[in-house]
Chain A
Amino acid sequence: MATKKKNNTIKLNFDTVRNYAPALESKSAATIKPQYDLFINGKFEKPLSKKYFSTINPSNEEKLSEVAEANTADVNRAVKAARSAYEKVWKKMAAKERAKYIFRIARIIQEKARELSIIETLDGGKPIRESRDFDIPAAANHFFYYAGWADKLEYAFPNRNANPLGVAGQIIPWNFPLLMAAWKIAPALATGNTVVLKSAETTPLTALKLAEIIQEADLPAGVVNIITGGGETGAALVNHTDINKIAFTGSTEVGKIIQKATAGTNKKLTLELGGKAANIIFEDAALDEAVEGVINGIYFNQGQVCCAGSRLYIQESVAKEVIKKLKDRLESLIVGDPLDKNTDVGAINSRQQLETIQKYLKIGQQEGAEKYESSCALPQKGFWCRPTLFTNVAQSNRIAQEEIFGPVLAILTFRTDDEIIEKANNSPYGLSAGVWTDKGSKIFNMTKRLKAGVVWANTFNKFDPTAPFGGYKESGYGREGGLHGLMPYVNLSNK
């Protein structure tokens, strides 16, 4: 029974919400080889480095497979294959033929969606619900969308010629492995470029599955090359002299290094970096829906999302009520085995990332903010962090300024419209923001003044291949998705 406690606080009881019988997705529906080589020139090739490294399941630390570590010589091989494919095949191919290959990739991703979801969840720790309902369908959609553009570039850029750049070097992060590969590869292929893509160190498996799909789609050899490795492999790719374009998604720190490395070369560069999004709730908002949006904004993919709504600003008149609702909602989030279909919050991607998050949890408490976390139990093995929120946070706190990249929400309050614009924009980042209000005119006023690449109104973390995505300030530059996403991969010339 809900009880009226002695101190007169009324509380809801969610004790058994987490007791649903297990509903595990079957591992046997996915095939993971014990070892993967580099995908170069249409074939899986042993690395010249002769080195391999393990990739593990972050939810239980069990080894899943080992993958090749590409060194400079391997990178050279991959770039050479991409250059040759560009000059001999891809550049000359009719655009409508290119489109067919991209469509084919999209369709095979759909066919293998279940297997890809399972592998994404095993390798990265994200809940199967997310990889099944978001990551994999969104990746397929991205290929479908850009397949459509391939033979219509003259409509994207009227009265201009859209010429491919050549070979694109692409480096993707570990938070949405297959989706980020799709974001990078699809527009590059549609515009006639060839690709060398390096997957993230901790999540290489779905990119390698994508390599198998590309083989199955019969894409001409060398048009897409997929290599695995860590920071050094990435550096070799960035510094390669025969690359025309670098596209990077990852941390602001590495982004700055890449920008320095490409300065003075004629490589085109797009960077999609960190963020510390302001999610703003006005007193006239539909509060229950706002609360749900805030929860999805920060706990989606364990908060390991560059556009996560990690700074919550609540108008003071409704702050108490919203915080109470958020705390209740934390109790009905199910944290646990990512392969369980009922899991809402999975494992943190790596030990290193977990340590970063824990560091910030300490900093938050030292700074005097009030920590509140879900009462859920955590598994013994693996990398886990309870969904957490901090109240009484000040703009000057590090947990309100720095990107934590974890399930940690910093809650601040505000009083007036001008104040919130100032506070929201008071950040080195500018990737995304959210506005919650029942008043249409307020939405337009706010979205005009917020310095962020994406501003969501009465929703959060919504993606569509047709919508451009990218940042302001230290969140990077260049846009991915939509018509804008074609621009970084073409040189325009007059007809």
Chain B
Amino acid sequence: MISSIEMGTNIDFSHSPRIDQVGLEERAARFTKRSIKKETKLNGLLLTLNMIDLTTLEGKDSEGKVKQLCYKAQHLHDAYPGLPNVAAICVYPSMIKIVQKALKGSGINIASVATGFPSGQVPKSLKISETKFAVAEGATEVDMVISRGKFLEGEYNYVFDEIAAIKNACGSARLKVILETGELGNMDKVRRASDIAMYAGADFIKTSTGKIQPAATMPVTLVMLEAIRDYYYKTGRMVGMKPAGGISKSKLALYYLVMLKETLGDAWMNNHWFRFGASSLANDVLLQIVKEKTGTYQSGNYFSLD
């Protein structure tokens, strides 16, 4: 069987399927009509926690801040033992070693952004060396950004080759490819970028850096999920999905899970194939879980702010 990359080099990505924005938004809105109650809600909330890439990506990130975040990841709410861990901690490459030490033995993944995040405006060679650095430091997952400028110029082969090169530099680390959908202009382009990333070897496709508005939305995520489905049917290879930025409430997270379940089915309903990139979602989910268990909402002051 020929590889995905070989298939990809023979595809004219300008012919990626077209998206009808009106119909897409209607379909995405339909998922929010689902009424998620009782055990379905509780299971969904627990799953959401388990899918979070707890993230800090700021210029002012410090060792102290990152350590606290790692502690939080392993002790989400000790008043309720038995809660799942988050999926990963996501940081800049300079923080990987700190994370690795703090997370030792927890089983939580270490994700690092790379490739000149968030703009990606550095030469390809630096992107590759940054990726290699991240992996050498101990990142088990790499979140790269695509070259949006080249993509919008129509240089799809350039974008494809760059992703393939980064994938190569990742070794055994899983590669998440950030499309930065808020800069792509329309849904046709989101679909096209998704196809390029997957054929070039992405293990995950991810909506956003969180630095650009709009970040993740349900319609954008739906386009990407449908791209994953079509790619899976063509190649038999599963690709993960990570909406990032703008998902801070558990109700919205549950709608994302409904959309995931009804688009890709049960196989994707775990943190190997789906992640939420979020910094403040966890506490709202915890609030809701405690509410489901006790019947009352607690003050936000009972949940640690890390």
> Which residues of A are interface residues toward B (Cβ below 8 A)?
1-2, 4, 10, 12-17, 19-23, 129, 133, 284-290, 292-293, 324, 332, 341-342, 438, 458-459
| Given A4-B236, A287-B17; 7 other pairs, CB 8 A cutoff | A2-B238, A14-B262, A17-B262, A284-B18, A289-B23, A341-B34, A438-B18
Q: Is the CB of A12 within 8 A of B41?
A: no
Contact of A14 among B20, B33, B265 (CB under 8 A): B265
| Nearest A-chain residue to B38, judged by Cβ | A21
Bound state CA distance, A292 and B262, in angstroms? 13
Report if B72 contacts A (CB, 8 A). no
Q: Is the CB of B267 within 8 A of A13?
A: yes
Of the listed stretches B118-126, B162-170, B225-233, chain A binds B225-233
Bound state CA distance, A1 and B270, in angstroms? 10
Shortest beta-carbon contacts, A-B, top 4: A289-B23, A23-B35, A2-B267, A286-B20
| Nearest A-chain residue to B233, judged by Cβ | A10
| Nearest A-chain residue to B30, judged by Cβ | A292
Q: Is the CB of B26 within 8 A of A13?
A: no
- Enumerate chain B residues within 8 angstroms of A332, measured Cβ to Cβ: 262
Contact of B20 among A15, A133, A458 (CB under 8 A): A458
- Enumerate chain A residues within 8 angstroms of B20, measured Cβ to Cβ: 285-286, 289-290, 438, 458
Interface size on B, residues (CB 8 A): 30
Bound state CA distance, A16 and B20, in angstroms? 29
Report if B39 contacts A (CB, 8 A). yes
Question: How far in angstroms is the closest Cβ of chain B from A174?
Answer: 25
Q: Is the CB of B232 within 8 A of A2?
A: yes
Question: How far in angstroms is the closest Cβ of chain A from B115?
Answer: 30
- Enumerate chain A residues within 8 angstroms of B37, measured Cβ to Cβ: 20-23
| Nearest B-chain residue to A458, judged by Cβ | B20
| Nearest B-chain residue to A292, judged by Cβ | B27
Report if B40 contacts A (CB, 8 A). yes
Bound state CA distance, A16 and B44, in angstroms? 13
Contact with A along B265-291 (1 / 0, CB 8 A): 111000000000000000000000000
Bound state CA distance, A288 and B28, in angstroms? 12
Q: Is the CB of B40 within 8 A of A21?
A: yes
Report if B150 contacts A (CB, 8 A). no
Bound state CA distance, A221 and B162, in angstroms? 78
Q: Is the CB of B33 within 8 A of A288?
A: no
Contact with A along B5-45 (1 / 0, CB 8 A): 00000000000011110111011000001111111110000
Bound state CA distance, A175 and B19, in angstroms? 33
Contact with A along B229-271 (1 / 0, CB 8 A): 1001100101000000000000000000000011011110000
Contact of A17 among B17, B35, B238, B265 (CB under 8 A): B265
Question: How far in angstroms is the closest Cβ of chain A from B1?
Answer: 10
- Enumerate chain B residues within 8 angstroms of A13, measured Cβ to Cβ: 265-267
- Enumerate chain A residues within 8 angstroms of B27, measured Cβ to Cβ: 288-289, 292
- Enumerate chain B residues within 8 angstroms of A20, measured Cβ to Cβ: 34-37, 40
- Enumerate chain B residues within 8 angstroms of A2, measured Cβ to Cβ: 232, 238, 265, 267
Bound state CA distance, A19 and B37, in angstroms? 11
* 6 CB-based A-B contacts, threshold 8 Å: A2-B238, A4-B236, A14-B261, A21-B38, A286-B24, A324-B233
Contact of B266 among A16, A21, A22, A288 (CB under 8 A): A16
State whether A12 and B17 are in contact (beta carbons under 8 Å apart), knowing that A289-B27, A458-B22 are contacts in the complex: no
Bound state CA distance, A118 and B24, in angstroms? 29
State whether A289 and B262 are in contact (beta carbons under 8 Å apart), knowing that A21-B37, A21-B41 are contacts in the complex: no
Contact of B23 among A23, A324, A341, A459 (CB under 8 A): A459
Question: How far in angstroms is the closest Cβ of chain B from A306?
Answer: 22
State whether A12 and B23 are in contact (beta carbons under 8 Å apart), knowing that A20-B34, A284-B18, A287-B17 are contacts in the complex: no
| Interface residues of B, dominant DSSP | helix
Question: How far in angstroms is the closest Cβ of chain B from A29?
Answer: 15
Q: Is the CB of B17 within 8 A of A16?
A: no
Bound state CA distance, A324 and B41, in angstroms? 31
Q: Is the CB of A289 within 8 A of B24?
A: yes
- Enumerate chain B residues within 8 angstroms of A287, measured Cβ to Cβ: 17
- Enumerate chain B residues within 8 angstroms of A290, measured Cβ to Cβ: 20, 23
Q: Is the CB of B266 within 8 A of A458?
A: no
Bound state CA distance, A281 and B230, in angstroms? 18
- Enumerate chain A residues within 8 angstroms of B233, measured Cβ to Cβ: 10, 324
Q: Is the CB of B18 within 8 A of A133?
A: no
Q: Is the CB of B22 within 8 A of A459?
A: yes
Name which of A13, A15, A20, A287 has the most chain B CB atoms within 10 A of its CB: A20
Bound state CA distance, A129 and B32, in angstroms? 12
- Enumerate chain B residues within 8 angstroms of A10, measured Cβ to Cβ: 232-233, 236
Q: Is the CB of A342 within 8 A of B261?
A: no
Bound state CA distance, A129 and B31, in angstroms? 12
State whether A15 and B266 are in contact (beta carbons under 8 Å apart), knowing that A292-B23, A459-B23 are contacts in the complex: yes
Bound state CA distance, A286 and B230, in angstroms? 13
| Nearest A-chain residue to B262, judged by Cβ | A332
Question: How far in angstroms is the closest Cβ of chain A from B107?
Answer: 20
Contact of A286 among B18, B26, B33, B238 (CB under 8 A): B18
- Enumerate chain A residues within 8 angstroms of B238, measured Cβ to Cβ: 2
- Enumerate chain B residues within 8 angstroms of A284, measured Cβ to Cβ: 18
Bound state CA distance, A20 and B36, in angstroms? 7
Question: How far in angstroms is the closest Cβ of chain A from B236?
Answer: 5
Q: Is the CB of A133 within 8 A of B23?
A: no
| Nearest B-chain residue to A288, judged by Cβ | B226
State whether A342 and B35 are in contact (beta carbons under 8 Å apart), knowing that A12-B229, A284-B18, A289-B19 are contacts in the complex: yes
Question: How far in angstroms is the closest Cβ of chain B from A321?
Answer: 9
Bound state CA distance, A332 and B266, in angstroms? 11
Bound state CA distance, A287 and B27, in angstroms? 13
Bound state CA distance, A13 and B261, in angstroms? 9
Q: Is the CB of A12 within 8 A of B264?
A: yes
- Enumerate chain B residues within 8 angstroms of A293, measured Cβ to Cβ: 23
Which positions 174-226 of chain B face chain A at CB distance < 8 Å? 226
- Enumerate chain A residues within 8 angstroms of B22, measured Cβ to Cβ: 289, 458-459
Bound state CA distance, A4 and B237, in angstroms? 10
Q: Is the CB of A17 within 8 A of B261?
A: yes
- Enumerate chain A residues within 8 angstroms of B262, measured Cβ to Cβ: 14, 17, 332
Which positions 115-165 of chain B face chain A at CB distance < 8 Å? none
Q: Is the CB of A12 within 8 A of B18?
A: no
- Enumerate chain A residues within 8 angstroms of B26, measured Cβ to Cβ: 292
Q: Is the CB of A129 within 8 A of B232?
A: no
Bound state CA distance, A268 and B235, in angstroms? 62
| Nearest A-chain residue to B226, judged by Cβ | A288
- Enumerate chain A residues within 8 angstroms of B38, measured Cβ to Cβ: 21
Bound state CA distance, A129 and B35, in angstroms? 10
Contact of A288 among B17, B34, B264 (CB under 8 A): B17
Bound state CA distance, A133 and B22, in angstroms? 18
Question: How far in angstroms is the closest Cβ of chain B from A486?
Answer: 30
Q: Is the CB of A286 within 8 A of B17?
A: yes
Q: Is the CB of A342 within 8 A of B265?
A: no
| Nearest B-chain residue to A436, judged by Cβ | B20
Contact of A16 among B18, B41, B229, B261 (CB under 8 A): B261
